[in-house]
Amino acid sequence: MCGIVGYVGKQKAATLIIEGLKRLEYRGYDSAGVAVWQNGHIEVAKKTGRVANLEKEAARHKLTGTTGIGHTRWATHGGVTDANAHPHVSSDGRIALIHNGVIENYASMKKFLAGKGYTFASETDTEVLCNLIAYHYAKEPEVAGENRLLDSVRKTLRHAHGTYGIVVLAVDRPGELVTARKGSPLILGIGDGENLVASDVAAIVSRTQSVVYLKDGEIALLTAGSFSISTLDETDVTPVIDKVTWSISDAEKGDYAHFMEKEIFEQPVALENAMRGRFSEDGSTAQFGGLNITPAEFRQIERFMFCACGTALHACMVTEHQIERFARMPVECDYASEFRYRNSPLFPNTLFFVMSQSGETIDTLAALREAKRKGYKVLAVNNVVGSTIAREADGGIYQHVGPEVGVASTKAFTSQLLIGAMLALYIGRMRDLSFGAGVRMVNALKGAPDLVRKALEQAPHIRAIAKRYAHHTDMLFLGRLSLYPIALEGALKLKEISYIHAEGYPAAEMKHGPIALVSEKCPSVFLAPQGEIFSKILSSMQEIKARKGPIIAVVTEGTELPAGLADEIITIPACEEIVLPIVASIPVQLLSYYIAVERGCDVDKPRNLAKSVTVE
């Protein structure tokens, strides 16, 4: 959601913080701000809009201090205004705070503080929290050997209900930052004579690759030369320093116009990375190192439950189809946000999976916790190493596709599809999928990167189609079986980044409602590869054509469609069913991307969206 960066060291804090915020802008871009300790006071610069606006504003403030905090905001409490932008400063001017999350009991805190004479310049829960820290800080006595700021933050957080990742700066403690988390990710960057804290590795990887993942309920004190971690109830924590495996170039877009474009074209390599070392020596099945469940335990499983949000849910839906088809085992799939409140009955011997690129999506995390509370083992498919979901799951599979920065997920999605397909193979081979069928599927999966390379060759052709269709206001995406979720994903991509209204539907179901929308003004994208129900999809196309609906058909190379049926044809290479959803994703990603570019949209930062949604 919001992006957080804090720095304490010898360099100009504002410069490094703003550089970090630019890398975090995908987390939220309603407003941005920075606060720096200098010359005995806290200087704050903040501005609505992008980090570029903040950069100009910061230049006016001449920020030279070497301790500071910065934030990009995705609005929750209070509109998008300069006043609501972070950092917030307490009304006594002593404490500055940045915050990611939601403080649920801020109203009662505010009433209490108003009674004590504190005043508020914004509508945010964060400003209330900031003033409560200031209140405790003013009351807290200075005790030798103890840190008054740390103690005041602890006291405040014991009263806070909700979620937070915070960083605090105090006017009379230059060279110190206090940071704490509950429900919002925070990572400490351990540098040489400097320390950092951020909501995401991307913001600190240019300074250090040594990181400590802060856990819920932990609080840390940072100075330029030291850091210490403890809990809210004052127990010391021995930190574990991890090494980040990717470098700054992974988080830069290089020669590409957008991160989304880069990430679309990275997919062949991303898939290679996601499958590396994950096939058995005999080449007949998949293997995963981190499941933490023995094959014997796995054989006891009688059904699977998958939960996720957004694009990751679409990957779960494809996985549902493939496990049922290839492993012949029942699978249920649910929106994480619904599952957590639905109290749905779960069968015994169910293995629970969550999928999440970021590993921080609050609804997915809540679904994981709910399933664990009910006594189920929960495994995670997740991209960001060390994320909260990765840590709280009983085991799982990392996607290994490097940082995904574009808000619209692409390479993370296809790697989730790949891992889902490998799971179907793995489970199938434990059941009645033969050695020969397994070998064939392994070979098909190993061929996925080249098939995707081939599908990407259609990019110039798809770009030309996009130019012709970019002016439309409505579009349908239609597919069947394992490509129905790809139709949903195509529609989601298009609406996310181009703001065209789009709906995904099972192709045959279209005649039970969406067909009412069909006219020459509403094109339909048909996912129509060769396969057992190809002729049925052709019938659905005829029904659209009879009502003058333009058709963009995605078909297998070499397919001859009846004359005049499709207005545009995009081909994908012929492939095995197990990899078809991966290959068919490429044209819908490219189509959405080029349409959004044609419409002049800000592809990497679509309005109102955030890459990782850490609030309900």
Instruction: Name which of residues 74 to 103 contact ligand G6P (CB under 6 A).
Output: none
Q: Does 317 bind ligand G6P (CB under 6 A)?
A: no
Comparing CB distances to ligand G6P, the nearer of 95 and 305 is 305
Residue placing its CB nearer to ligand G6P in the complex, 309 or 552: 309
* 498 forms part of the interface with ligand G6P (CB under 6 A): no
Distance (Å, whole) CA 103 – CA 161: 6
611 binds ligand G6P (CB under 6 A): yes
End-to-end CA distance of the chain: 11
Q: Which of 84, 267, 337, 364 binds ligand G6P (CB under 6 A)?
A: 364
Q: Could you tell me if 489 and 304 are in contact, meaning their C-beta atoms sit under 8 angstroms apart?
A: no
Of the candidates 407, 441, 541, 570, which one interacts with ligand G6P according to CB under 6 A? 407
Cis upstream peptide for 87 (omega within 30°) = yes
310 vs 550, which CB is nearer to ligand G6P? 310
Say whether residue 44 binds ligand G6P (CB under 6 A): no
* Nearest-angstrom CA–CA distance, 13 and 285: 51
Q: Give least dist CB 275 to ligand G6P, A.
A: 19
Question: 170: which strand partners?
Answer: 95
174 to 203, contacts with ligand G6P by CB under 6 A?
none
Sheet of strand 350-356, all strands in order from the earlier edge strand to the far edge: 331-335, 303-308, 350-356, 378-382, 395-398
Sole residue written with tokens 């806070």: 160
Name the percent of the chain in helix, strand, coil, to the closest 5: 40, 20, 40
Contact pattern for ligand G6P over residues 262 through 301, marking x by CB under 6 A:
----------------------------------------
Q: How far apart are CA 531 and CA 393, in angstroms?
A: 37
Contact between 613 and ligand G6P by CB under 6 A: the answer reads yes
State the minimum distance, in angstroms, from the CB of residue 530 to ligand G6P. Answer: 30
Active site annotation includes 522: no
Which of these is catalytic: 182, 493, 605, 611?
A: 611
Q: Output 136 or 411, the one with its CB closest to ligand G6P.
A: 411
Helix count and strand count (H, E) for the chain: 19, 25
Contact between 585 and ligand G6P (CB under 6 A)?
Answer: no
Judged by CB under 6 A, the residue of 156, 612, 614, 615 near ligand G6P is 612
55 and 4 in contact (C-beta within 8 Å)?
no
Binding of ligand G6P by 609 (CB under 6 A): yes
- Site stretch for ligand G6P (CB under 6 A), options 54-62, 102-110, 205-213, 305-313: 305-313
Between CA 516 and CA 536 the distance in angstroms is 20
**Residue from the set 126, 285, 361, 585 that interacts with ligand G6P by CB under 6 A:** 361
Do residues 491 and 477 touch, judged by C-beta distance below 8 A? yes
CB 408 within 8 A of CB 268: no
Q: Which of 2, 309, 333, 601 is catalytic?
A: 2
| Nearest Cα to Cα of residue 461 among 580, 555, 587, 597 | 587
Active site residue 2: yes
Binding status of residue 312 toward ligand G6P by CB under 6 A: yes
Sheet holding 3-8, edge to edge: 41-48, 31-38, 67-73, 3-8, 195-198, 187-190, 210-213, 242-243
The interface region with ligand G6P, picked from 15-23, 82-90, 353-361, 558-566 by CB under 6 A, is 353-361
Report the interface residues with ligand G6P, using CB under 6 A: 309-312, 356-358, 361, 364, 407-409, 609, 611-613
Q: Please identify every residue annotated as catalytic.
A: 2, 611
